[in-house]
Amino acid sequence: MKDGICLIIDDENSQCGLTDRLKTAVGLCYVAQLNGIGFHFIHRAGFDIRDYLAPNRIRWGAEPDEVLDSPLEKQEIRYIAPYEDLPQFRKGKLYICREYIGNNLIEKWNVPEWQKIWRELFWDMFTPTERVRTELEACGMPEHYTAVVLRFINSLGFTENAAYNAPFPGPLQEKLIGAALEKVAACERESEAPVVVYSDSVRFLKAAAAQGYMTTDTDGVGNVMNRDAGDYVILRTFVNLLQLAEAEKICSILHLEGFPDNSLYNTQYPRYAAIIGGRPFFRL
C-alpha cells in the first residue's frame, strides 16, 4: 500500500446511496491530488465497486489487508462538511476515511468550473466494466432520448426503509400517478426526442409503460443501500446512471401542483448523471 488517502466503504459504514458514495470518492481524490498524494478506494458495502466501475487512469484499486498490514503511519480522517478538520497532508502517511457524508467538496469550495473538474476527475477515476458495457448495449436505447426521472420513495407504497414519508392514502396515490404522467407528457411535448422514464416505483413505471413510454427495467428497481438488493439491482443502478449520462437532456420532476411537497424526492442521482455526461439538466 502506497501513501495517500484511502476511502473505505463496507457494511459497517454503508450509509448514503450510490451518488453520495461517488461524490465522496471523487471529492477525496481531488483532495489527494491537491496535496500531491495518492488515492485509494475500497468498496465492499454489499459489492465490490470494481465489478461495475473499474479503475481508469487513476489506479485507486486496493484491498483491505493492504491497509491493515501497511507499515505506514496511519491517521483517521472525516469527509464531513465544512471539512475544517481535514489535516495537513504529508507524503509517507496513510489517511483512512470511513466517516463521510456525500457532499461535493469541489462545489462547496466554489471552485471555478467545478462541474467540468468533477466530470473529468470522475472519468479519470472510473470506466465501466465489460459487464456494464454489455448490459448498456443490450438495452436497445434510442439514438437520442430525453430522460425523465421521478423518485417517489414511499408515497406510492414502501420502497425504502426511510423516514422521508409514509405511503399516501389509496385515492391520493391514484391522483398522484395521474398528475405525474401528465408532467411526463408535458416533457414529451417539449422534447424533440422520445422520452424514457426512470423511477424508483415499479407501479409508476408500469403505468408509464401502459401509456406507451419506454421505461427502465422494473426488475432492476431498488437501492444499493439495501443489503438485500441483489446483483441485478446493483448492476442496473450503474447502467441507469450511465444511460442518463447519455441522454439528450435530463428532466427531474420534483413538484406537482396541488400535491404535498413530499410527494416526490429531490434525488441527486440524475443531476450527477448529467454532470458525468455533460448534459443539460432541468428540475421541474
Res. 84: pLDDT tops 90 = no
Look at residue 81 in the predicted model and tell me its pLDDT.
82
Local confidence band at 161 (pLDDT 50, 70, 90 cut-offs): low
Average pLDDT in the 120-139 region? 96
Q: How far apart (Å, rounded) are the C-alpha atoms in residues 173 and 153?
A: 13
Res. 75: pLDDT tops 90 = yes
Local confidence band at 2 (pLDDT 50, 70, 90 cut-offs): confident
Res. 162: pLDDT tops 80 = no
Residues contacting 148, CB < 8 A, separation 6+: 184, 187, 195, 196, 197, 198, 250, 251, 253
Give, for 224, the enclosing helix (H) or strand (E). none
119 to 57, 191, 220, 273: CA distances (angstroms): 14, 25, 26, 10
Locate cell 420534483: which residue? 254
Average pLDDT in the 196-208 region? 95
Look at residue 133 in the predicted model and tell me its pLDDT.
96
Local confidence band at 210 (pLDDT 50, 70, 90 cut-offs): very high
Look at residue 282 in the predicted model and tell me its pLDDT.
96
pLDDT mean across residues, the chain: 92
Cell of 105: 467538496
Res. 196: pLDDT tops 90 = yes
Look at residue 200 in the predicted model and tell me its pLDDT.
92
Res. 1: pLDDT tops 90 = no
Res. 252: pLDDT tops 90 = yes
